[in-house]
A and B are shown apart, each in its own frame.
Chain A
Amino acid sequence: MPRLLSGAFRLKNDPRILKLPPYLSLLCILVGVVWLLLLPLDNYSRRTYISENALLPGQVHTYFGGSDQNVFRAYKHEINSLADGNATNLAVNDRLAAIFAGIGLKTARQPYSYTTSRAVQGENIYAILPAPRGDATEAIVLVAAWRNAGDETNRNGVALLLTLARYFRRWSLWSKDIIFLVTPDSSSGPQAWVDAYHDAHRGSVGSLPVKSGALQGALAIDFAREGRFKSVHVAYDGVNGQLPNLDLINSVVSIAGGQMGMGVAIQEMWEHPDGYRDRLDTMLRGMLKQGLGMASGPHSAFIPYHVDAVTLQPFGEGWQDEMAMGRVIEGTFRSLNNLLEKLHQSFFFYLLMATERFVSIGTYLPSAMLVAVNFTIMAIALWVKSGQPEGEVVPGLEGQKGEKARLAVERHLFLPLGVVTVAQALGVVPLWVFNHTPASLQTTVFVVFLVLNTALPHVLSAVLTRTYNPTTQQYQLITSFSLLLLGMFLSSLATLNFSLALIVGLLSSPLSFVRPARHLAWSVPLALISPPAVLALTTALWKNGGLAAVGDVLREAAFGWDVMGMYTPVVVWCVWWPAWLVGNLVVLGRPGRGKAKVA
């Protein structure tokens, strides 16, 4: 290894080699992007398959139907009367507790409250069906939120949950406990319940009075629409871009699509003719959701605890009724019931591009890694460059024998290290501000920050040049250290949340090529790719809500950070923003002769 390295390092004196890195790193970025665009092709993606043979999806006859329809109507009537009467959370839970007790299940409640940028409080209710053939060491969960993610009342969902509770109770084949959970909303309620189930809850969240065994899987029903539907939409994104085991999604697809013949959609692709564009679109939507890392339904809270979970949402105009939906859930529960150990066979890192097509981590990771590597390449190149004399050939010294004089220049590390450290430390400020601003002020604070953020690099650069007047070498070293950190953070992040790493990497890829420019104009494009500007531009373009939409996004982010442990804000403010700030400082820099030593 040392010999290899020393061989490689002898090359560093070749002037041609030194010209290469910018092109090399541009090539890395381009290859990374093209790689991503190739993934939907048949040659690069694979058909999904069931890895865990114990699941046997769609192999059992489902019996839900017939007289259960009458039961469903009765529960639906109850739910309608509660929903139409605008019953409070507690009144709803009183009624649900009575119904669960009527079915003969052990019921418990859990009050919780969160005081973040927006205060939330509520009470979860859940009932446990003890397994007739089990020993309460394992459980599967059926969740229905009273208000779904779109803030509609989940009338059919809760009624279906009650019907299924009554129906499951009659069977003796369950080998795992089944927990029926009704939460008041789709985000904080499930989070409070799962946290408390694993004893990881905070003081404001009540403990669970009754528990069962280790959770093996969870299914959430989001069925607020009325009337018959065409097929089922599977939402599977977890907090921080974690995904459930692919086998769970495959099972649902196989049961709903294959056995029940109702078809499945993912990533809100209501039409999917399986062309290249559709696949790419599905994949990019999935990556965007994964990158943002927000919760997409009640299932999201389960995934960080290694409990595989998905949310099922019926959609479209068709001829499937509530009973068909119930049969899909019954079939999936029968499959989960077969599990001998936690889902582990199949993939945890994948990108789905159609319900039956995916790429696994080995195939897609190189694209994010290439983008991250481009920063490291430039960092190394700048380090090497900073060690070489500014002039071409140093006269006199060792210039004999026609050899090119090589005079290693002493690097002045203190100032560059200081600048990069300060920039990294400054990232804590916006992180703290945006997570502690009251919800109503978020938009105002954001606008103020946007303005300050545009001015900040100019002010800092003026201070830097006035007091220290850094040399070209020091600017090279500042860029080098900043890019090294960025590359390091992004390649670590790529293993945890591929999409976020790729998005941040691509948005900050221009930072690889910054150098002191004499013209102020160069800072304009850089100002446009600053994190707050990107946030403002994208929300304005996509959500059409202007600045109010930015406030919504920030509120969600603050809530996600505080309640769900979502780390996207940390990445934005402590990885991306400092790198951008340093890049901007360098562009605005005016290399001088260095600060004269003050005695």
Chain B
Amino acid sequence: MNGGKVTLGRTAGLYIGAAVLRLALFTVFPGLPDLLTGRVEISTPVTSFKRLQEGLFLYNHNVSPYDGGVYHQAPLFLPLFSLLPSSSSFPIFTYLLYIVVDLLSANALQKIADSGEAVSSALFTSPRREKRWSGLVIAAVYLFNPFTIATCLGRSTSVFTTCAVLHAIAKAISGAPISAMIALSFASYLSMYPLLLLPPLLLLSYDRQPALHTQKSLLAFTLKHISVVTGVLSTLFSMSYLITGSWEFLPSTYGVQLTLSDLTPNVGLWWYFFVEMFDSFRSFFLAVFWLHLSSYVGGLCVRIRTQPLVVLTLLLGIFAIFKPYPSIADMSLFLAMVPLYRHVFPLMRYTFVVAAVVMYATFLGPAFYHLWIYAGSGNANFFYAITLVWGLGLSLMVCDLTFAVLRDEWEVERPEMVGKEIRQI
């Protein structure tokens, strides 16, 4: 009992520490939030706080927020943020909201970690399960990750999606599939791409159903929960329709993600490609890019059926690379999940290379962007080259994690191969 109290005290200390750090950064450097909000690495057209302000202004003046083609975010943000006092006169309320959302995400993450789902799922138990970090450590890694802090200070609206995704996973693990589906619907409503997480999340909730009312058939389970998602999403869409008075928000939010009509640079791989694209090929390559992004879902769900949480983690990593508008917020979500696999870290081969590549890209990216945009002495190729390096670092990390997890599984099947070097043919 005493131990529980200590953990509780530590958890509170961690959350207070993280909140104080963020508040201190907000107040000691008052120029910092706006500086970060303007960075393309943090704010994409679909998550930018500046664009949210623009949409909010139009909304408060009874003009459709989507007039002018600047605001591409979900309509339900507008009533939420118009309830808060204006962020220009009383920024503290906005800061507090973002801090609370970060803490909620960390809380969900802590629950995921403490459940031990990462080391021992319903169908697979890792032989290395003893070696794992507690939820507290994993929440701390998330909360003090510079990418997370920068995203929070930059007030990117992707923190809401992050929070919803983490809660969906936490609920699925704790045996509350309906709540998980509701959380996932919110995430999908906010950013669309989390909808692709539905299959692994269904598998995860199916595996972790409470013993009391277990549903045997996966098909029936799937149908039931897909209908939940559809229901929640339809409700959200109808509410959006009521708020904005038209269906205009659909093409302006999801349409922009599907057709990439805003080509503002970001850390992803799409913008440069589609800047260069001849118009006649545009729709074809859009289809190819989206097909590529979604093709991972099926394959991973089948291959790593025994560990749905791994599938979710890997997919989050893949989305952080191949999404139409990725930012470092997606990176921070992926990095939040990676420490859950502490037990397979010894099997990973490129940790140092990956860390070095990601750090190099983190520093060179802003330098090259400066050369391109401000100094005028570089050009778009400079920045794009660095986004390629960033993508390379991330994909190496995803590959390496996949390798480690598969090797862990393989050593259970082939105990005689433990500790032997393997060669890729």
Contacts of B284 in A (CB 8 A): none
| Residues B366-383 near A (CB distance < 8 A) | 367-368, 370-371, 374-378, 382
**B239: CB under 8 A from chain A?**
no
Binary CB contact string for chain B from 338 to 354 against chain A (1 if under 8 A, 0 otherwise): 00000000100110110
> Are B376 and A408 neighbours in the complex by a CB distance under 8 Å?
no
Contacts of B93 in A (CB 8 A): none
Given A2-B396, A306-B376, A496-B370 in contact, is the A488-B421 Cβ separation under 8 Å?
Answer: no
**A267: CB under 8 A from chain B?**
no
Contacts of A491 in B (CB 8 A): 360, 364
> Are B363 and A306 neighbours in the complex by a CB distance under 8 Å?
no
- How many residue pairs bridge A and B at CB < 8 Å? 64
Binary CB contact string for chain B from 409 to 421 against chain A (1 if under 8 A, 0 otherwise): 0000000000101
Q: Which of A3, A306, A488 contacts B360 (CB 8 A)?
A: A488
B residues contacting the other copy or chain, number (CB 8 A): 29
Contacts of A342 in B (CB 8 A): 376
Question: Which B residue's beta carbon lies closest to that of A407?
Answer: B419
Question: Which A residue's beta carbon lies closest to that of B363?
Answer: A492
Q: Which of B349, B359, B374, B376 contacts A5 (CB 8 A)?
A: B349
In Å, the complex CA distance between A560 and B400 comes to 46
**B23: CB under 8 A from chain A?**
no
Binary CB contact string for chain B from 137 to 152 against chain A (1 if under 8 A, 0 otherwise): 0000000000000000
**A484: CB under 8 A from chain B?**
yes
> Are A10 and B421 neighbours in the complex by a CB distance under 8 Å?
yes
> Are B356 and A1 neighbours in the complex by a CB distance under 8 Å?
no
> Are B367 and A1 neighbours in the complex by a CB distance under 8 Å?
no
| Residues A219-259 near B (CB distance < 8 A) | 242
> Are A495 and B375 neighbours in the complex by a CB distance under 8 Å?
no
Q: Which of B346, B352, B371, B399 has the most CB of A within 10 A?
A: B352
In Å, the complex CA distance between A304 and B320 comes to 34
Binary CB contact string for chain A from 523 to 551 against chain B (1 if under 8 A, 0 otherwise): 00000000000000000000000000000
Contacts of B376 in A (CB 8 A): 306, 342, 344, 348
**A82: CB under 8 A from chain B?**
no
Contacts of A484 in B (CB 8 A): 356, 359
Least Cβ–Cβ distance between A498 and chain B, in angstroms: 12
Least Cβ–Cβ distance between A543 and chain B, in angstroms: 31
| Residues A334-377 near B (CB distance < 8 A) | 342, 344, 348-349, 376
> Are A5 and B350 neighbours in the complex by a CB distance under 8 Å?
yes
Least Cβ–Cβ distance between B359 and chain A, in angstroms: 6
In Å, the complex CA distance between A518 and B424 comes to 45
Q: Which of B352, B396, B403 contacts A380 (CB 8 A)?
A: B352
Question: Which B residue's beta carbon lies closest to that of A376?
Answer: B356
Contacts of A6 in B (CB 8 A): 349, 423-424
> Are A496 and B371 neighbours in the complex by a CB distance under 8 Å?
yes
Q: Which of B346, B350, B367 contacts A496 (CB 8 A)?
A: B367
**B392: CB under 8 A from chain A?**
yes
| Residues A535-577 near B (CB distance < 8 A) | none
Least Cβ–Cβ distance between B134 and chain A, in angstroms: 15
> Are B399 and A2 neighbours in the complex by a CB distance under 8 Å?
yes
**A432: CB under 8 A from chain B?**
no
> Are B374 and A383 neighbours in the complex by a CB distance under 8 Å?
no
> Are A495 and B367 neighbours in the complex by a CB distance under 8 Å?
yes
**A489: CB under 8 A from chain B?**
yes
Q: Which of A2, A379, A495 contacts B368 (CB 8 A)?
A: A495
**A44: CB under 8 A from chain B?**
no
> Are B375 and A242 neighbours in the complex by a CB distance under 8 Å?
yes
Q: Which of B356, B374, B375 has the most CB of A within 10 A?
A: B375
**A398: CB under 8 A from chain B?**
yes
Question: Which B residue's beta carbon lies closest to that of A493?
Answer: B367
> Are A492 and B364 neighbours in the complex by a CB distance under 8 Å?
yes
In Å, the complex CA distance between A180 and B375 comes to 25
> Are B392 and A1 neighbours in the complex by a CB distance under 8 Å?
yes
Question: Which B residue's beta carbon lies closest to that of A245?
Answer: B377
> Are A492 and B367 neighbours in the complex by a CB distance under 8 Å?
yes
Least Cβ–Cβ distance between A506 and chain B, in angstroms: 20
Question: Which A residue's beta carbon lies closest to that of B399?
Answer: A2
> Are B363 and A398 neighbours in the complex by a CB distance under 8 Å?
no
Question: Which B residue's beta carbon lies closest to that of A361?
Answer: B377
In Å, the complex CA distance between A408 and B378 comes to 44
Given A344-B376, A349-B377 in contact, is the A3-B424 Cβ separation under 8 Å?
Answer: yes
> Are A1 and B396 neighbours in the complex by a CB distance under 8 Å?
yes
Contacts of B400 in A (CB 8 A): 2
In Å, the complex CA distance between A344 and B419 comes to 58
Binary CB contact string for chain B from 227 to 243 against chain A (1 if under 8 A, 0 otherwise): 00000000000000000
In Å, the complex CA distance between A380 and B350 comes to 11
> Are A5 and B353 neighbours in the complex by a CB distance under 8 Å?
yes
In Å, the complex CA distance between A485 and B419 comes to 32
In Å, the complex CA distance between A495 and B386 comes to 13
Least Cβ–Cβ distance between A410 and chain B, in angstroms: 8
In Å, the complex CA distance between A342 and B377 comes to 12
Contacts of A9 in B (CB 8 A): 349-350
Question: Which B residue's beta carbon lies closest to that of A384?
Answer: B352
Q: Which of B363, B367, B375 contacts A348 (CB 8 A)?
A: B375
Contacts of B396 in A (CB 8 A): 1-2, 5
Contacts of B377 in A (CB 8 A): 242, 348-349
Contacts of B352 in A (CB 8 A): 380, 383
Least Cβ–Cβ distance between A566 and chain B, in angstroms: 15
In Å, the complex CA distance between A349 and B403 comes to 43
Contacts of B371 in A (CB 8 A): 495-496
Least Cβ–Cβ distance between A237 and chain B, in angstroms: 15
Least Cβ–Cβ distance between A367 and chain B, in angstroms: 18
Contacts of B374 in A (CB 8 A): 306
In Å, the complex CA distance between A304 and B377 comes to 11
In Å, the complex CA distance between A5 and B360 comes to 18
In Å, the complex CA distance between A12 and B334 comes to 29
Given A380-B352, A492-B364, A492-B367 in contact, is the A2-B424 Cβ separation under 8 Å?
Answer: yes
Binary CB contact string for chain A from 1 to 20 against chain B (1 if under 8 A, 0 otherwise): 11101100110000000000
| Residues A467-501 near B (CB distance < 8 A) | 484-485, 488-489, 491-493, 495-496
Question: Which A residue's beta carbon lies closest to that of B349?
Answer: A9
In Å, the complex CA distance between A410 and B367 comes to 35
In Å, the complex CA distance between A10 and B352 comes to 15
In Å, the complex CA distance between A484 and B356 comes to 8
In Å, the complex CA distance between A398 and B421 comes to 12
In Å, the complex CA distance between A276 and B363 comes to 37
Least Cβ–Cβ distance between A465 and chain B, in angstroms: 26
Least Cβ–Cβ distance between A27 and chain B, in angstroms: 21
In Å, the complex CA distance between A518 and B236 comes to 69
Least Cβ–Cβ distance between B130 and chain A, in angstroms: 14
In Å, the complex CA distance between A379 and B360 comes to 13
Least Cβ–Cβ distance between B352 and chain A, in angstroms: 5
Q: Which of B350, B360, B419 contacts A398 (CB 8 A)?
A: B419
Contacts of B424 in A (CB 8 A): 2-3, 6
> Are A408 and B364 neighbours in the complex by a CB distance under 8 Å?
no
Contacts of A348 in B (CB 8 A): 375-377
Q: Which of A304, A342, A493, A496 has the most CB of B within 10 A?
A: A496
Contacts of B370 in A (CB 8 A): 496
Contacts of B399 in A (CB 8 A): 2
Binary CB contact string for chain B from 390 to 409 against chain A (1 if under 8 A, 0 otherwise): 00100010011001000000
Question: Which B residue's beta carbon lies closest to that of A410?
Answer: B346
> Are B368 and A488 neighbours in the complex by a CB distance under 8 Å?
no
| Residues A175-214 near B (CB distance < 8 A) | none
Contacts of A10 in B (CB 8 A): 421
Least Cβ–Cβ distance between B358 and chain A, in angstroms: 11
Least Cβ–Cβ distance between A477 and chain B, in angstroms: 11
Question: Which B residue's beta carbon lies closest to that of A495?
Answer: B367
Contacts of A2 in B (CB 8 A): 350, 396, 399-400, 403, 424
Per CB-CB distance, the 4 closest pairs between chain A and chain B, nearest first, are A348-B377, A306-B376, A492-B363, A492-B367
Further pairs besides A306-B376, A492-B367, A493-B367: 5, Cβ < 8 Å: A2-B400, A10-B421, A376-B356, A492-B360, A495-B378
Q: List 11 A-B contacts (CB under 8 A).
A: A1-B392, A10-B421, A380-B352, A383-B352, A398-B419, A410-B346, A489-B363, A495-B364, A495-B382, A496-B370, A496-B371
